[in-house]
Structure 1
Amino acid sequence: MATLILVRHGRSTANTAGVLAGRTPGVTLDDRGAGQAAALPGRLAGVPLALAVTSPLQRCRETLAPLLTARPGLALHTEERISECDYGDWSGRKLAELADEPLMDVVQHHPSAAAFPGGESMRAMQSRAVDAVRDWNARVAAEHGDDAAYVMCSHGDIIKALVADALGLHLDLFQRLHVDPCSVTAIRYTRTRPFLVRLGDTGDFGALAPRDGAGGTAGYADGGAAQVGGGAGAP
């Protein structure tokens, strides 16, 4: 079939502000995120890529820009179905404030039942993203062969939902997964099953170190709650 290289966008201004960006316009990479994007061509230097696919949101386009500059012949396609989850009325709000919302408990522990007011359900988010990947897998294999690889830049919850699908995990377990900004996740699809060959690889193990002596690590809120939207990664 094909090998899918999933890249979460680099750290954004919303990540550092502790805001759930969703589809709010005008969210860009911060300085660290721009540096992460600049390093991406070197990290993928040994991988032939058939094409690139991006979420329509600006932070994803900015993340792939250095890779496209380094590979002038690499075609870029925009795919609406891998856009960020539509968080509806939650979009643009502080994550610390959202932690007190009754719905957050459902998002954390029973996400298949979570639907954001004025937005979409997490189940619908996963379904559209999985459909998009299946369609792109078929297209890449048909045009470039079964051994081809392609890169897709998307968002934390989208990538976690795609990994859960590849592993046969129920969506209710997807909050156990974590992908840092500009991390690389790779899934090799075959006729009978997918293989997860990389998960959230940044090459930087700083995120494993305790934060401020508090015992937690970057990307995980106190008490083991997952950060909706994916978090800001290592400080």
Structure 2
Amino acid sequence: MTVILLRHGRSTSNTAHTLAGRSEGVDLDDKGREQAEGVVERIGSLPVKAIVRSPLLRCERTVEPLATALGLEPVVEERLSEVDYGQWTGRKIEELFKEPLWAVVQQQPSAAVFPDGEGLARVQARAVEAVREHDRRLAAEYETDVLWVACTHGDVIKAVLADALGTHLDGFQRITADPASMSVIRYTTLRPFVMHVNHTGAALTAALLAKPEPNAETGSDAGSDAVIGGSTD
């Protein structure tokens, strides 16, 4: 099972340099709308079977062209919503630099809890739970490997990637998730494989189309085994 973590396109809050959080009505700007249209070509012929998205408007707008092109109805998932930044919501980024909590967010995000909001550790827990739950749901529904898209937010994507990489949440600030970027994780019975991080190129690799075959000699699930010495491709 493989998920494409799609960050929403550039928003009006991104260009205003404010922390949008869960503010109502934050839409894509002109560049963000172009990015949303471009997602269709970047996905290309990849056999995406489902789209799951954050309930916020900027994610809704980002997946609209793809959903139309594929004839899919996106599933709204509250657990993929943006971080609840509490009192930080809507404030200028340059103001937040001065807050004592800023250093905690940068250096020890696992301990960061936003005033009247939520902690980043909780964000990671809910987002990973949601991704894995939808992964299991789609596996049961299709009874085969499924490629699907989850459209969400930068810090949420970084938290899910950190989990997949086996990296402590305190290292998640080393991961980048730009607007309209795609990061890809393939979940197997033994471990997740991170296939792309912050992909912003023209198209995702055709390797996503390949289905791993069982190992005839060992009987193991080759899709769960790491290739010793690296990929043979």
Q: Same fold (TM over 0.5)?
A: yes
**CA distances 1:53-102 after superposition (whole Å, capped 9, x unpaired):** 00000000000000011112x13100000000000000000001100000
Larger radius of gyration: 2
Q: Percent identity?
A: 54
Name the CA distance, whole Å, in 1 between partners of 2:58 and 2:91: 18
With normalisation by structure 1, the TM-score equals 0.85
Residue 107 of structure 2 is matched in structure 1 by 109
* Structure 2 residue ranges without an equivalent (≥5): 203-233
With normalisation by structure 2, the TM-score equals 0.85
Please show how residues 117-196 of structure 1 align to structure 2 within 5 Å: 117-196=115-194
How far 1:173 moved relative to its partner?
A: 0.3
Name the CA distance, whole Å, in 2 between partners of 1:26 and 1:117: 22
Deviates most, 18-27 or 137-146: 137-146
Please show how residues 182-221 of structure 1 align to structure 2 within 5 Å: 182-203=180-201
The reply on whether 1:5 has 2:40 as its aligned counterpart is no
Name the CA distance, whole Å, in 2 between partners of 1:179 and 1:117: 24
* Structure 1 residue ranges without an equivalent (≥5): 205-235
3-state SS in 1 of match to 2:196:
strand
The reply on whether 1:57 has 2:56 as its aligned counterpart is yes
Aligned AA for 1:34?
R
Given the alignment, which residue of 80, 90, 99 partners 2:88?
90
Name the CA distance, whole Å, in 2 between partners of 1:92 and 1:51: 32
3-state SS in 2 of match to 1:172:
helix
Name the CA distance, whole Å, in 1 between partners of 2:47 and 2:21: 31
Name the CA distance, whole Å, in 2 between partners of 1:62 and 1:90: 24
What value does the CA root-mean-square deviation take over the aligned residues? 0.8
Residue 210 of structure 1 is matched in structure 2 by none
The answer to whether the Cα contact below 8 Å between 1:4 and 1:186 also exists between their aligned partners in 2 is yes
**CA distances 1:23-82 after superposition (whole Å, capped 9, x unpaired):** 00010000000000001011001210111000000000000000011112x131000000
* Paired residue total: 202
Residue 208 of structure 1 is matched in structure 2 by none
